Structure 1
């Protein structure tokens, strides 16, 4: 039976796959002890400095955070915009038919592949903010709009602002052009699968083969460690609070540490067993659970309100796209921008190189068009639907007086907001527990994929040693636990540090604006010549 053209874009029977698919002996360059040591050194120095001089370190990072947001925020914005627009151009062009890795059939089935993408990119943060962020923007009008807060006119603008933060731009920077550059370098040219490969068209190869290349890799790893440890710590507080309210477990540090330990056990086990087993199984389970929760909310929740809210909000998102994406601290509120748009964009930039490694690894056998459309278009559309279901339900509850999140959100207590909204959903306590489980596993899928990707950077190939995967997974869990023990907002300080790491990482990502299209065209040219 012939398949519809739209389905043919995505469907390809999968091939059996092992965790090792390196094309040549140059793919196994040995451990990069310098980048591993530098990354580990950052963790030790940050924890010791926080323990000995926490307030001073916090003030220093906060000052750097503010300076970066005010002076470089527009640079981050345009990097994301350019990445998205150029990626769409590549997907629409003739090079879009080239296959990543030069093999005819993908190594992962379509549902498996999409599940891993959805559960890895933006997963933990997206679920953590999905319920509370739209309600916050409903109660506090974003600078791009002029509606009165807390009114029906505020609904589409609140969701549209959330779509901007977690939509097309955020996803594109995580695995569109950069994944093309890395896939070309690794699968076609036999280069180690490391962030430094993003600079191959910019810097001499002999430079990248030495300490400079190791430093580039270490900076990218540090950015991901900071970006992953934060959600682990926030999850511990959110789940600890949720279990206390729902089932009466003790609330406090001891419970949070147990949650971190259990979460670490889950994602380390997943990372150790590899992409084709643990990471795939965990992602597939979480997508199925998310679909069940979404179905319950859509069918038994305020269905008409949610449909209309998504339609109006997506229209507002598209019509106000460039206004929201290019807000300047000269005209908008600097305080608002640095804690919302600039913070999120910098967070995603920090994840960019290692997420690209992961996307390139799982997308072998997919066409360039399939990968870009899935990552930069399809996944953001699914994200907008998810934010509408949870955040739209939160707005509906706020509007109808079912609950009042004004004070918790004013204090940025998104754990309270998430639980309050979850309890109000159809199913009450059961649904709330399911949302907590979903959030925990989403963070775990980020933890396992990043433990794997960091290990790939250290090893230089896509089958890193098991002990290295376990080491990085355990280290991130221990860092989150240590920051929770130290208290005084250590996790929050680390989150602000993410914005500082976006400065050097943005320079690593910048060449992909021209190297990405060149990589796609080179793949297409080589495959045409070979065929």
Structure 2
């Protein structure tokens, strides 16, 4: 129960205190025992990947299929709120916010780096070949497409349904109501909220740490700014201060405006790259990669490297899936918060399909530009090798990658800015790097904003009108967590820990699907279009006149 007076007024004292103690203890362990923590997490994560990788793969595929079924079924007409309720935010504002809160930072960070890794090595094609270039984009689409957005979408859908449709608290504990009833208000519910806060807090800290490192790398390459902890701390302090101010201002005035700025900067960056880059190649990349992705999605979704068991999947797909699951609580909660009044069909189409399309365009332009530089480098090498052989001279050493591959292998944060330099080593290249740094900063702010709002919702037992003081407390605490991890090099330990944290969330996702589907089947609105004689008894009652009347049923 929330306290009505004192320091914890408007908050749940148990959740507020215990969650912060656990967050600080976990982060201190990662920060000051980074090597020991990394080894422990690596041992446990390897054990999980060896034994439950099949479960991660199967669950992600199940979630995608479940959402497509709901979207196309009669359940898609159910509104997340009252039957006549209208959406709170415009479509553009809604898409901008869910995209910014979802994976904006990750897209900028990995957009050039991931295709380079797959181009250099993947289990399906020879390294540094035309085939590996196509496969690099197909795999990147797979890791950043429907599957991660499906995890966010199902969490948002379940929470929005139980909160706005059934009147339960805005908290993940509400999803368990069909199973445990009013016990969600007791220790079980508190435990779920505490675990959600802990996972959310370290997810945000990891995201902030990655962003600050890449911004520092970009500023270092463009302006010669020192790549040091002091610079990173300064940037973290400035950006987290802006994020906290945005949280205090609220979603309508803060988050929405910053998210729309994100979209404008993203569009500007893409337009410039299309104008100065290999436009024809990029357009072909988009269509070809989209076709390969859609044509092979079922096979990729269920592939588990059974015969070779090379370990590649553990580094990529099987790592990504639990990593996305650790983001599901706070991204899903935020998407649910801004989706009130939309139908299930609108929510699934908006959260699953639109961001996937935007991601495909983004990856095709950024990743495609990097691949073109690498392909040109490989062709130049092959031409030189042919000339030497024809001249009777020894052939050069085997091609091991162009400038972007080598920069990526040295440090993932260098990939994007090295690509800009190779496209244009003059004013335009520097301008692109500046835009990318601004974009990273605004995405960092919106990610922190999104996560801080969710942390406050959980502290306040689901209330979306949280005290300003707790917003400030979480804003400051998140900055200190990220700073501590940067100082001690604990980010790698937390990245490994995400595989472990994803396991309990995966179990919760299974329960979520069951409770959501069970409740949807008892929705009178879902059966309104069906003939009376095929409706279940719980969606109708006989009147003396023989007419059938729908009645609102409690969650069972």
Give the TM-score normalised by structure 1: 0.88
Q: How many residues align?
A: 496
Q: Which stretch shifts more, 64-73 or 476-485?
A: 64-73
DSSP-derived class of the 1:510 partner: helix
Partner of residue 65, structure 1: 45
Alignment partner of 1:40 out of 13, 16, 20: 20
**Which of residues 94, 97, 112 is equivalent to 1:113?**
94
Residue 313 of structure 1, CA deviation? 1.4
Within the candidate set 170, 178, 194, 2:171 is matched to 194
RMSD (CA atoms): 2.2
Quick one: distance in 1 between partners of 2:185 and 2:315? 37
Could you tell me how far 1:207 is from its partner in structure 2? 3.2
Mapped partners of 2:437, 2:523: distance in 1: 43
Q: Distance in 1 between the 2:517 and 2:261 partners?
A: 35
Counterpart secondary structure, 1:249: coil
Which residue of structure 2 lines up, in the alignment, with residue 482 of structure 1?
A: 484
SS at match of 2:193: helix
Structure 2 partner of 1:6: none
**Aligned position for 1:406:** 405
Q: Deviations over 1:443-497 (max 9, x none)?
A: 221110111011111112111222222222221211110111123xx11111111
Q: CA deviation at 1:29?
A: 11
Cα deviation for residue 431 of structure 1 reads: 0.8
**Separation in 1, partners of 2:87, 2:522:** 20
Aligned residue in 2 for 1:131 = 112
The answer as to whether partners of 1:178 and 1:516 remain within 8 angstroms in 2 is no
Counterpart residue number, 1:470: 472
More displaced stretch, 276-285 vs 333-342: 333-342
Structure 2 CA distance for partners of 1:131 and 1:60, relative to 1, 3 Å: same
Q: Matched residues in 2 for 1:495 and 1:190: separation?
A: 36
Q: Distance in 1 between matches of 2:173 and 2:454?
A: 14
* 2:168 aligned with 1:169: no
| 2:413 aligned partner | 415
Q: For residues 408 and 66 of structure 1, do their structure 2 counterparts lie closer, same or farther at Cα, with a shift above 3 Å needed?
A: farther
Equivalent in the alignment of 2:439:
438
Deviation at 1:520, TM superposition (A): 4.5
Deviation digits for residues 280-319 of structure 1, max 9, x if unmatched?
0000001011111111212331111111112221222123
Asked if the contact 2:178/2:515 (under 8 Å) is kept, the reply is yes
User: Is contact 1:101-1:365 (8 Å) kept?
Assistant: yes
| Matches of 1:47 and 1:120, distance apart in 2 | 23
Measured against aligned partners, the alpha-carbon deviations of 1:484-514 in whole angstroms (never above 9, x if no partner) come to 1123xx1111111111111111122112223
1:233·1:480 contact (CA, 8 Å) conserved in 2?
yes
Cα separation, 2, equivalents of 1:425 and 1:439: 20
Shift of 1:519: 4.4
SS at match of 2:130: coil
Residue in 1 that maps onto 2:3 = none
Q: 1:43-86 deviations in whole A, cap 9, x for unaligned?
A: 22123324553322221011112112222222122222111111
Q: Which has the larger radius of gyration?
A: 2
Q: Which residue of 1 aligns with 2:186?
A: 210
Query: Within 5 Å, which residues of 2 pair with 1:238-249?
Result: 238-249=214-225
Provide structure 1 residue ranges, at least 5 long, that are not aligned to the other structure.
1-27
**Aligned partners of 2:551 and 2:15: how far apart in 1?**
37
Q: TM-score, normalised by structure 2?
A: 0.85
Q: Report if aligned partners of 1:181, 1:519 keep a CA contact under 8 Å in 2.
A: no
2:131 to 128, 150, 153: 153
| 1:507 to 1:36, Cα distance in 2 relative to 1, 3 A | farther
- Gap change, CA 1:255 and 1:524, over 3 Å in 2: farther
Residue equivalent to 2:316: 340
Distance 1:240 1:499 in 2: 27
Matched-pair contact (CA < 8 Å) for 1:349–1:505: yes
Matches of 1:416 and 1:333, distance apart in 2: 31
Matches within 5 A, 1:304-343: 304-328=280-304, 330-331=306-307, 333=309, 335-343=311-319
Q: What is the alpha-carbon distance in structure 2 between the residues aligned to residue 125 and residue 334 of structure 1?
A: 26
Task: Output one character per residue of 1:406-425: Cα deviation in whole Å (capped at 9) or x when no partner.
Answer: 333334x2111121123344
Say which SS state the counterpart of residue 320 (structure 1) adopts.
helix
Native 8 Å contact 1:139 1:150 kept in 2? yes
Pairwise CA distance, 1:392: 0.7
In 2, Cα distance between equivalents of 1:29 and 1:195: 21
Pairwise CA distance, 1:401: 2.3
SS in structure 1 of the partner of residue 170 of structure 2: coil
1:428 match: secondary structure: helix
Distance 1:328 1:111 in 2: 38
Match of 2:494 in 1: 494
Secondary structure of the corresponding residue to residue 399 of structure 1: helix
